[in-house]
Structure 1
Amino acid sequence: MIELRSVSRAYGDGPPALNDVSLTIARGEAVAVLGPSGSGKSTLLNLVAGLDRPTGGTVTVDGVRVDELGESGSARYRRTKVGMVFQSFHLLDDLTVFDNVVLPAQLGGMSRGASRRRAVELLEALGVARFADGFPGRLSGGERQRVAVARALMNRPAVLLADEPTGALDSVSGQDVRKLLTELHADGQTIVLVTHDLALAGACATRTVRLVDGRVAS
């Protein structure tokens, strides 16, 4: 599903954020990327998401050479291949929960009827259907993260990328998100998870990759 070959990413004259990283992730795997701050974890996720380009090497996701895409191609790739979940949720506070979830489908050209059915299905499956007409600012952190996951899954992405998804949550909400990601993986979703949360990695991941100074240490 994901293949990085000899990938490096340098910024200016400093040491590279990633240095000759090769990594393969199979379809249906859940992989946790661990490492100290500055080890290259978020850079790796951004390269897989098509938000950044390597200065060397190749990035292939579900048959797409992500490193070769232009701006419009990268945007189309993210709409169709990748779902993203962030520590800070990135929900739009002036839209209802339902409209936040349905937005990626509208941008992707899904019909109104199909997108509404998909949004209802996801909100119900993730236990937040009762909040559909409310606004994100009125929800708890765990509830907002569930809404964010629903939005990320809207276009049935090949890969779910999660960047510190429990980082802004209390312990109870964090447990909810761990359970949710474990269930998604059990259903066959490919997941790449960047985290400092060892409990999250242990609960959700079938494999861990540890980065140190931009290289795969283990």
Structure 2
Amino acid sequence: MIELSGVSRAYDDGPPALRDVSLTIAAGEAVAVLGPSGSGKSTLLNLVAGLDRPSGGTVTVDGVRVDELGEAGSARYRRTKIGLVFQFFHLLDDLTVADNVMLPAQLGGMPRGTARRRAAELLEVLGVGRHAGTYPGRLSGGERQRVAVARALMNRPALLLADEPTGALDSASGQDVRNLLNELRAGGQTIVMVTHDLGLARACATRTIRLVDGQVA
């Protein structure tokens, strides 16, 4: 599913964020990327998501050379191949839960009726179907993260990327998200999560990768 070969990422000042990283992740794996702040975890996730480009090396995801994509190609790649879940949800407060979830499908050209049925199905499966007409600000943190996961899964992505998915949650809501990620893993979803939460890694990951100073330790 994912192959990084000799990947480095350097910026104008300071040491490289990543240095000669090579790794492979198979379809169906749930991988936790661990490491201290500044170790290159978020940079790695951004490169796989096509949000950044490597200074050297190649990034291939589900047969796509992500490092060769232009701006339009990167946007299309994320829309069709990638589901993104962030620490702070990034839901739109002026849209209902259902409309937030439908947004990626509508951007991809899915008919509104089809998108609405798909969103309703996902929200029900993820346990927040009763909130479809509610605005995100009225939900708990755990519920908002479930909505964010539903949105990420809307276009049936090959790969789910999660950046500190429990980082903004209390312990009970964090456990809800751990349970959810476990259910997705059991269903065969490929997941890469960046986290400081060792409990999340132990509970959900089939493998862990530790980064230190931009290299795989």
Tell whether the structures are fold-level matches, with TM greater than 0.5. Answer: yes
Deviations 1:148-175 (A, max 9, x none): 0000000000000000000000000000
What letter corresponds to residue 20 of structure 2 in structure 1?
D
**AA matched with 2:3:** E
Q: Give the drift of 1:62.
A: 0.3
Please state whether the residue corresponding to 1:137 is helix, strand or coil: helix
The corresponding residue for 1:86 is: 86
Aligned residue in 2 for 1:175: 175
User: What is the identity, as a one-letter code, of the residue corresponding to 2:196?
Assistant: H
Identity %: 85
CA distance in 2, matches of 1:93, 1:2: 33
Please give the alpha-carbon distance, in whole angstroms, between the structure 2 residues aligned to 1:8 and 1:173.
36
Q: Tell me, what secondary structure is at the counterpart of 1:122?
A: helix
Q: Equivalences for 1:188-199 in 2 at 5 Å?
A: 188-199=188-199
> Which amino acid in structure 2 is aligned with residue 6 of structure 1?
G
In structure 2, C-alpha distance between the alignment counterparts of 1:137 and 1:11, rounded to whole Å: 37
What runs of 5+ residues in structure 2 fail to find an aligned partner? none
Q: Using the TM superposition, give the Cα deviation of residue 114 of structure 1 relative to its aligned residue in structure 2, in angstroms.
A: 1.6
Secondary structure in 2 matching 1:33: strand
In the alignment, which residue of structure 2 is the partner of 1:40? 40
Aligned 1:42-191 pairs, distance under 5 A: 42-191=42-191
Runs of 4+ in 1 over 3 A off after TM superposition: none
Of residues 171-180 and 107-116 in structure 1, the stretch that sits farther from structure 2 once superposed is: 107-116
TM-score (norm 1): 0.99
In the other structure, the counterpart of 1:206 is: 206
CA RMSD for the aligned pairs? 0.5
Q: Distance in 1 between matches of 2:199 and 2:171?
A: 11
Q: C-alpha distance in 2, partners of 1:13/1:204? A: 36
